[in-house]
Amino acid sequence: MSELTWLSTRELAAEIAAGRISAREALADHLARIDDVNPAINAIVTLDTEAAEASAAAADDAHARGESLGLLHGVPMTHKDTHDTAGMRSTHGSPLWADRVPAADSVIIARLKAAGVITTGKSNVPEFAAGSHTFNPVFGTTVNPYDTTKSASGSSGGVGAALAAGIQASGDGSDMGGSLRTPGSFNNVVGFRPSHGRIPKLAPDNPHAWLGQSGFMARTVSDIALLMQAGCGPATGAPWEIGEPGSVFDLPEFRLGAVYQPELSGVRVGFSPDFGGQIPVEAEVAAIVSAAAEVFAGLGAEVTEDVPNLEDADEVFRTQRAYDFAMVFEEMVEAGGRAQMKKSLVDNIDAGLALTAADVRSKDAARVRLGAELWKYFETCDVFVTTTSQVLPFDAELEYPTEINGEPMADYLSWMRAATLISATGCPAVSVPAGFSESGLPVGIQIVAAPGRDVELMRIAHAFEAVTEHHLRHPQL
């Protein structure tokens, strides 16, 4: 382990900008860490060392010439395998795309590169990002650095495991049903799902899709804010966007060397570890999450047991997810791809193909009601705090937990309703490390704010992180 292993992205970028570390040196350290720990966790599945070395050399040359440097100049980073990287294999964890090499970058990758990131490879995902456990027939299973017999969650499980293992300090991911937040909880890192339009979508992806969002994971909230500076803001041709630039995330308390006194006076926190009894939560998880209420109260927040009315959220999430899967995969299924897809993925696609006009109308009406309830809730509460995951990291040999507290789970979505119910709302949400089980497994809390209030959400999460410092506990690989 080198002295660079546990630097934050901010710290590493600052060291490179100051000339104390070269981009080449940062890359060599990054690649050495992959060699050291990746065989144990299987987080990184594709590498292009030659291209990365050329990019790092070019970054050092630009620095030597005195050129203007991006926020992330020279920082090495792998990317989620469902985000396209131009000229680099992007498989989405599917044998159908095992050799696929896209010609263009996804929006989030293009923005990271524009900020100076050195792309080194790809991190593992479930097949087509379906499910919150990272395994696929192309690369196998990614496991948890805190216990390599356990799941790293998903679909951004490869990213989460890489951060926890010290391969990199932050990275990109995406979240439809908790795919940034649940891996954040399982790997003791931060996972942030932003508001719709913070990171705009462009064709050929469906730019109107709202349920799935690109976002970031990091070991600190401060690094999430730094990546949001680079990754969000308007884009030409995007039909849905939040017009604020990334600079709104450049807050004084996030900067290196800032004197920061965490304090949340006047913040109104609605708190419940189990959505007011609406979802089953393992006892050890519930106990760790419950202890967070005292932390918020100690920071000066007003903590109540108010819970938003989410009775329409299941219908909204499941119908919209099925519709989105049918939109993306219909042609692939009709072309014969069904036989090479896992059953749970096919079931979601078939559910979408079977939707009727009445189903879609019912979902839209439910979404209207859900939105009205949320705006009513956020008139009296600034954030809702709950569990991120209903379970501790589970056996990596399982596809998903089949029961919680003796209650059977109907399918692979049922065990993660703590995340999917929030996805249906369209609210920004962040998972922050909250503690550890007796066996040393991480647990996160989920903090949820009203749509568009991403910056305020970051500030609240940062305060919680600052006084608890659970993120400083690293696995022993």
What do you get for the CA distance between the two ends of the chain, in Å? 10
Arch. (CATH architecture) of 9-472: Alpha-Beta Complex (3.90)
Whole-number percent of the chain with pLDDT over 70 = 100
Q: What digits encode the pLDDT tens for the residues 421-470?
A: 999 999 999 999 999 999 999 999 999 999 999 999 999 999 999 999 99
* β-bridge pairing 76-80 and 118-123: parallel
Q: What is the mean pLDDT of residues 109-126?
A: 98
What per-residue confidence (pLDDT) applies to 55?
A: 98
Q: How confident is the model at residue 21 (pLDDT cuts 50, 70, 90)?
A: very high
Sign of the dihedral defined by the CA atoms of residues 191, 192, 193, 197, in that order: negative
pLDDT higher than threshold 80 for residue 1:
no
User: 227 is written with which tokens?
Assistant: 């990546």
What is the DSSP annotation of 58-72?
HHHHHHHTT----TT
What per-residue confidence (pLDDT) applies to 202?
A: 94
Q: How confident is the model at residue 2 (pLDDT cuts 50, 70, 90)?
A: confident
Neighbours of 258 (CB within 10 A): 10
Q: What digits encode the pLDDT tens for the residues 299-313?
A: 999 999 999 999 999
Q: What is the mean pLDDT of residues 317-327?
A: 97
Q: How many residues does the chain have?
A: 477
Q: What digits encode the pLDDT tens for the residues 228-247?
A: 999 999 999 999 999 999 99
Q: What element of type H or E holds 185?
A: helix 181-187
CA 259 to chain centre: 28
Q: What is the mean pLDDT of residues 363-390?
A: 98
* β-bridge pairing 140-141 and 268-271: unpaired
Provide the edge-to-edge strand list for the sheet that holds 76-80: 44-47, 118-123, 76-80
Residue 288 CB contacts under 8 Å (≥ 6 apart), including other chains: 434, 435, 436, 437, 443
Cα angle, residue 430 at apex, residues 427 and 433 outer, rounded to 5°: 155
pLDDT higher than threshold 80 for residue 398:
yes
Distance CA(154)–CA(173), nearest Å, equals: 10
Distance CA(439)–CA(93), nearest Å, equals: 31
What per-residue confidence (pLDDT) applies to 95?
A: 97
Whole-number percent of the chain with pLDDT over 90 = 98
* β-bridge pairing 429-436 and 442-449: antiparallel
Q: In terms of Cα–Cα distance, which of 296, 303, 282, 320 is closest to 423?
A: 320
What per-residue confidence (pLDDT) applies to 90?
A: 98
Neighbours of 44 (CB within 10 A): 28
What per-residue confidence (pLDDT) applies to 62?
A: 98
Cα distances (angstroms) measured from residue 431 to each of 304, 411, 421: 20, 23, 14
Q: How confident is the model at residue 220 (pLDDT cuts 50, 70, 90)?
A: very high
Q: In terms of Cα–Cα distance, which of 441, 419, 462, 477 is closest to 188?
A: 441
User: 420 is written with which tokens?
Assistant: 């999917």
CB 88 within 8 A of CB 49: no
Residue 117 CB contacts under 8 Å (≥ 6 apart), including other chains: 72, 75, 76, 77
Distance CA(85)–CA(5), nearest Å, equals: 25
Phi and psi at residue 153, to the nearest 5°: 65, -165
- Cα radius of gyration rounded to whole Å, the chain: 21
What is the DSSP annotation of 265-324?
TT-EEEE-TTTTTTS---HHHHHHHHTHHHHHHHTT-EEE------TTHHHHHHHHHHHH
Cα angle, residue 37 at apex, residues 176 and 9 outer, rounded to 5°: 60
Residue 85 CB contacts under 8 Å (≥ 6 apart), including other chains: 79, 102, 105, 106, 109, 119, 122
* β-bridge pairing 383-387 and 268-271: parallel
Q: What is the mean pLDDT of residues 194-216?
A: 96
What per-residue confidence (pLDDT) applies to 347?
A: 93
Domain boundaries along the sequence of the chain: 9-472
Cα angle, residue 454 at apex, residues 254 and 199 outer, rounded to 5°: 100
Q: How confident is the model at residue 177 (pLDDT cuts 50, 70, 90)?
A: very high
**Catalytic center residues:** 80, 155, 179
What per-residue confidence (pLDDT) applies to 234?
A: 94
pTM exceeds cut of 0.85: yes
The two most distant CA atoms of the chain are separated, in Å, by: 64
User: 474 is written with which tokens?
Assistant: 């690293």
Residue 239 CB contacts under 8 Å (≥ 6 apart), including other chains: 207, 208
**Amino acid at site 144:** N
